[in-house]
Amino acid sequence: MKITIHRGSNEIGGTCIQVTSGTASILLDIGLPLSDNSPFIDVANLKVDAVLVSHPHQDHFGLIDRLSPEIPVYIGELGRNLIETTSVMLNKEWHGNQFRHFKAWVPFRIGTFMVTPYLVDHSAIDAYAFLVEAEGKRIFYSGDIRAHGRKGKLFEHMVKHPIPDIDLLFLEGTMMQRSNDLFSNEKAVERKIYEVIRKQKNISFIISSSQNIDRIVSAFNACRRAGKIMVIDIYTAWVLEQVRQVTENVPGMEWPEVRVYADHGLDKKLKANPEYFGDLRRRLYRHRVKWQELIAAPSAFLYFGRMSSFRKINVFRNDIAPVNIIYSQWLGYLDGNHADYFGSDRIVAFREDPKVNFVYAHTSGHAPVEDLQRLAAALKPKHLIPVHTEKASDYGRFFENVVVLHDGEMMEI
């Protein structure tokens, strides 16, 4: 097998790896880079038979639109549904790709390749690692992976019952230069949210991602324990509808401790796409919370929002009972270099605002080095190649059999 990392050998995001066996060729992920300085790759001219998408994060699937539409894109069904949700909500073009769905742990064939998707723990739901076999060789691609979320058992299972005879491991290393000290796992985040909202005198806003399902569950559990109502917007309500088709363990808008705040803009999307949303708008109506209700009893609510919620937050700022902002995503977004992230400058300003109680509660979607070491030690790959990291050159200090492959370099196994 021949392998080339087109992009991602020394950056986080924009991952694109090509694996070729004879005349058959596949891509592992086809991500949109997170950095403006990332090298350009001409995806449209790559000669491949299929693309495997590990999970529905932009930096892993974001360039599927550049592919020729007849190239099939393999992805979990829920992951694909969540990608479509974002397109509809953001008024983007519908993806013209030919999607094919796989099931966790069920091997499937693409030409000479045998592929087995392994469901993994990550901040995106429906995330997979892939075992790719051909010519008697076995490649394992970690995708984005961790052990400390709500699906951590999957990671532990992989360590206890490792896949044998791995010739090559592509191992993500997002956390090689970051630490996970403050909140070591999702449970710790849930506890922190609970502590903040338990005796609140004003409303709390949690700033996170509507596609971080683990975090929605943490917020919900904290609310239930504290006797508060979790308010979600229409986008989050629809995401949860998708997830609940697969598992009923996540809260839905019909649950008594959940209410939906219907922003005008998102409501217009529902009206404009009745075929896509079905009867959502009608059902949602019964579970709405009105703005006046939030104003009348703010301490009864936790609002699950985003950076763009700053206007709503503003309304609740006051000296006597500062409004809680629970910042629950990567702190790097607040470093002043994310002007494209709508509302981030306003959230940054709230950190110094006496009318705001700014709290951080987040744990990463990625495994810290110690967990990656446990996985690598269990899999015992003949070659370990860094991907999705800015510290490829450090891998040699932490792992055995490391081969640093640069973008565009070809290697044969």
Which positions touch Zn ion (CB under 5 A)? 57, 144
Q: Identify which of 147, 120, 150, 140 has the alpha carbon closest to the alpha carbon of residue 55.
A: 120
Q: Which is nearer to Zn ion, 32 or 223 (CB)?
A: 32
Q: How far is the CB of 4 from Zn ion (least distance, A)?
A: 22
Cα(19)–Cα(54) distance, integer angstroms: 15
Q: Which is nearer to Zn ion, 144 or 233 (CB)?
A: 144
Q: How far is the CB of 368 from Zn ion (least distance, A)?
A: 15
Q: Which is nearer to Zn ion, 26 or 367 (CB)?
A: 367
Q: How far is the CB of 43 from Zn ion (least distance, A)?
A: 19
Cα(133)–Cα(140) distance, integer angstroms: 9
Q: Which is nearer to Zn ion, 14 or 298 (CB)?
A: 14
Q: How far is the CB of 384 from Zn ion (least distance, A)?
A: 20
Q: Which is nearer to Zn ion, 57 or 215 (CB)?
A: 57
Q: Which is nearer to Zn ion, 341 or 358 (CB)?
A: 341
For residue 160, count CB atoms less than 10 angstroms from its CB and return exposed for 0-12, middle for 13-18, buried for 19 or more: exposed
User: Which contacts qualify for 293-301: CB closer than 8 Å, 24 or more apart?
Assistant: 294/203, 294/231, 294/261, 298/202, 298/203, 298/323, 299/200, 299/201, 299/202, 299/203, 300/228, 300/229, 301/203, 301/204, 301/228, 301/229, 301/230, 301/231, 301/259
Q: How far is the CB of 60 from Zn ion (least distance, A)?
A: 6
Q: Which is nearer to Zn ion, 127 or 379 (CB)?
A: 127
Could you tell me which residues are beta bridge partners of residue 386?
171
Q: What is the CA radius of gyration of the chain?
A: 22
Q: How far is the CB of 225 from Zn ion (least distance, A)?
A: 29
Q: How far is the CB of 178 from Zn ion (least distance, A)?
A: 14
CA dihedral for 375, 376, 378, 381, sign (positive or negative) = positive
Cβ atoms within 10 A of the Cβ of 44, count?
10
Collapsed DSSP state (helix, strand, coil) of residue 376: helix
Contacts for 399 with CB less than 8 Å, ≥ 6 apart: 171, 372, 373, 376, 384
Q: Which is nearer to Zn ion, 57 or 259 (CB)?
A: 57
Separation in Å, CA 46 to CA 4, 25, 49: 12, 10, 10
Q: How far is the CB of 212 from Zn ion (least distance, A)?
A: 10
Q: Identify which of 62, 63, 68 has the alpha carbon closest to the alpha carbon of residue 49.
A: 68
